[in-house]
Structure 1
Amino acid sequence: MRPPVASHRRTSPSAHDRPARVAMLSAALAASAVALTAVPAGADPGAPSSDAHSSDARSSGPSGQSSGQSSGQSTSSARRTVERLFHDAERATEKYNLAKERSDQLRERVGALQSSVARGQERVNQLRGALAGLAGAQYRSGGVDPSLTLLLAEDPDGFLTKSAALDRISNRQAGQLRVLHAAQRALRQERAEATGKLVELERSREAVARHKREVTAKLAAARTVLNGLTEAERAALRRIERAKEAERRASARHEQEQPAGEAAASPRAAAAVRAAQNAVGAPYAWGQSGPSSFDCSGLTQWAWRQAGVAVPRTSQGQAGVGQRVPLSQAQPGDLVVYRGDASHVGMYVGGGQVIHAPHPGANVRYDPVGMMPVTSVNRP
């Protein structure tokens, strides 16, 4: 495996698209989670831990145990707990993204149906008016039995001409009536569909709100764990982060000295990679898809969108896109989906590296492709 690729400078983002509530939550969590922005290679943030709370790890140990050992255990327990909570939050985020995407689609469909219903009602009203006019004309001209009228007519030829006109009016009236009935049926169907979509939209909105509450609850729990650490434990986490960051920078410098990396699968894939590289350093924010902040699937969707290619909004959706290839044949631009539940995704950029948006409190960055179990590699 080749060494990691060099980091690239990102463009200066604007913050106009970032909801204030998300920004406040992410900023608050980032202040506590800065020491957890690196997950060890091969670690699964979703792995369960028997030490569910940092307070468990700070409980008194066997007689003679050093305070340093106790602090180390507490720090390790806190890391595992927070990583698990971040994994749960990321899984809930992808559910939120899917529900929000569905809600947006339903809102557009309901709007289109409501406009169509309004147009259909206007047409029905016009047809009714036309039929009323035809009925009035028929009544005024044909109120007497035709045979009696012919016997009494001073101008039989003129009457026959009028009678032919009445027949035409009658035929036209029947045709217009059929058109009216068809328009009324279509209107009823569209109204029924609009009513059903409104019910579905309301359910989708409830799902969005439910998943949002789940995300915020998980992030709040992680913040509580971090806030419960002692200053010594926080210092230990900061040392771990500094060591991991030094490793990433050293790998980036080494990559600059290497020959050019693997070629992208296509010009569009190369454009998607450049977009992802420009996003390096942007903050993680759940539910966001750029251009100034991202969650994991938001980053990969945004990067491919810059290349003119539409991919699904969620990591689960991206796990089914395009052509699936073995990890050993990955090329820059490929989507690397992680964990058994496909709850995380990054973009392969060559040299055994991916660019991804890791979790709250972290920025978009490079990491080894094998940082956690790979579910699939997909080439849009």
Structure 2
Amino acid sequence: MRTGKRGLLAVAVTVVCAITVLGAPGAAFAAPGPTPAPSTSPTARTTNPDLTPPPADPAPSEADKALEAVREKLDSLYHDAAVATDAYNAAEEKAKEQSAQLVALARKIVQGREKLDELKDRAGAAARSQYRGGGLPDEAHLLLSDDPREFLDGAGRVLQGHRATKGLLGEMTRTQQDLEQYAADASTQWQKLESHRKAKAEAQKKIEKQITEARALESRLEKKEKERLAKLQEEAARKAQTAWIGTGALDNATGQGTSAGERAIAYATAQIGKPYVWGAEGPDSFDCSGLTSQAWADAGRTIPRTSQEQWRQLRRVAVSDMRPGDLIIYFGDASHVGLYVGDGKIVHAPRPGRNVTVAGAGTMPILGVVRPDA
């Protein structure tokens, strides 16, 4: 008992700087001595058992308060990691878009240069043809002609030649302008790509920092404390789910899922047991939005990669109108998402150290519901 209490003290001090709600420092963790009897006389303690205090054990509620502080700190750390993960995923998606646009622009530049070279060859051929004609313009050749019919036919050819030359020069100018615009666009896209790469790297640092701190906090817990913490987490989830059901949120939620929604659910539930890994979107591991986006991709519907963009872009529906296959978005910053499977439950990838699982839909604060196949 003493060893466990000392471990809990170390964690609690780290979390809340010597939690003051427990009274005197260390009172919740160090085994206290017997409570002094009203009389120190051995006779009094022997002849009147009522005056002998019961064995003093630390109040479970006090220990639970300390563990509850640990639980709240862990929730905060993992929540911050989830926010950073969304930022990382968003930056990665943007970087992919910029890379694809750069590739497309590079192809346009290559094609434009090839076209410009061809136009220059045509212009050179025209110049060489004129040189072979003695350097005289077509108008001069016409004036030297004695045949009116030949003159008229030649006049038409001259007009066509003028138009062709003008068109050739115009096409060369436009091609050159396109190349310059492509080069400017490529420079802009490259700058955006670098910006998104930096944002992704910064988000990665935040994620790793939060997860490292959370794991260090958990590692200082002893086995019994970890077991009790797990029970407290389960109890908190159960209470939250019960309270949510008690609000009547599901009283009218009898909507039937679509065939696409059922396919998304089938995909997501098939991933149960696979580990949460931030930034992952399968097939061996997932983060929360990686799971939901891939589930709906498997159902034939492309949706945004991050929970925040899923909340922003997809059609919102009332909780009372949700149906299996809908996505439930959690927390005020839309930093978590789960796939609703019906009966008040979701399948989701919870957080680092956990696996894809089924949980109560009301175990976390619900921001709202969105429908991918609206």
TM range (shorter): 0.7 to 0.9
Identity of aligned residues (%): 33
Q: Show the counterpart of 1:139.
A: 131
Shift of the 129–145 alpha-carbon distance from structure 1 to 2, 3 Å rule, reads: closer
Gapped runs of 5+ residues in structure 1?
A: 1-50, 248-260
Q: CA deviation at 1:277?
A: 1.2
Shift of the 146–133 alpha-carbon distance from structure 1 to 2, 3 Å rule, reads: closer
Which of 8, 17, 20 is matched with 1:56 structurally? 17
Q: CA deviation at 1:195?
A: 1.2
Deviation sequence 1:341-372 (CA, Å, 0-9, x none): 11111011111111111110111111111111
Q: CA deviation at 1:215?
A: 0.6
Shift of the 139–241 alpha-carbon distance from structure 1 to 2, 3 Å rule, reads: same
CA distance in 2, matches of 1:177, 1:306: 51
The root-mean-square deviation of aligned C-alpha atoms, in Å, is: 3.2
**Is 1:291 equivalent to 2:252 in the alignment?**
no
Partner amino acid, structure 2, of 1:114: A
Which of 180, 197, 205 is matched with 2:197 structurally? 205
Which 10-residue stretch deviates more, 272-281 or 340-349?
272-281
Q: CA deviation at 1:93?
A: 0.2
Q: Show the counterpart of 1:324.
A: 316
Deviation sequence 1:193-228 (CA, Å, 0-9, x none): 111111111111111111111111111111221223
**Is 1:126 equivalent to 2:118 in the alignment?**
yes
Shift of the 338–140 alpha-carbon distance from structure 1 to 2, 3 Å rule, reads: same
- Which is bigger in relative contact order (C-alpha 8 A, separation at least 6)? 1
CA distance in 1, matches of 2:167, 2:323: 64
CA distance in 2, matches of 1:231, 1:277: 31
Alpha-carbon contact 1:348-1:369 (below 8 Å) kept: yes
Alpha-carbon contact 1:353-1:368 (below 8 Å) kept: yes
Q: CA deviation at 1:120?
A: 0.3
Larger of the two Rg values belongs to structure: 2
Which of 208, 214, 218 is matched with 1:222 structurally? 214
Aligned residues: 315
Alpha-carbon contact 1:53-1:81 (below 8 Å) kept: no
CA distance in 2, matches of 1:150, 1:110: 52
Query: Which residues in structure 2 correspond to 1:86-105 (within 5 Å)?
Result: 86-105=78-97
CA distance in 1, matches of 2:298, 2:134: 70
TM-score (normalizing by structure 1): 0.74
Partner amino acid, structure 1, of 2:193: L
CA distance in 2, matches of 1:177, 1:320: 49
**Is 1:116 equivalent to 2:77 in the alignment?**
no
CA distance in 2, matches of 1:356, 1:147: 80
Q: Show the counterpart of 1:65.
A: 27
Q: CA deviation at 1:238?
A: 4.9
Partner amino acid, structure 1, of 2:91: A
CA distance in 2, matches of 1:283, 1:146: 79
Report the secondary structure of 1:349's partner residue: strand
TM-score (normalizing by structure 2): 0.75
Deviation sequence 1:172-206 (CA, Å, 0-9, x none): 22221111111111111111111111111111111
Shift of the 210–148 alpha-carbon distance from structure 1 to 2, 3 Å rule, reads: closer
Runs of 4+, deviation exceeding 6 Å: 145-151, 241-247
Gapped runs of 5+ residues in structure 2?
A: 1-11, 30-57, 240-252
CA distance in 2, matches of 1:339, 1:374: 6
CA distance in 2, matches of 1:213, 1:94: 13
CA distance in 2, matches of 1:368, 1:102: 33
Q: CA deviation at 1:230?
A: 4.3
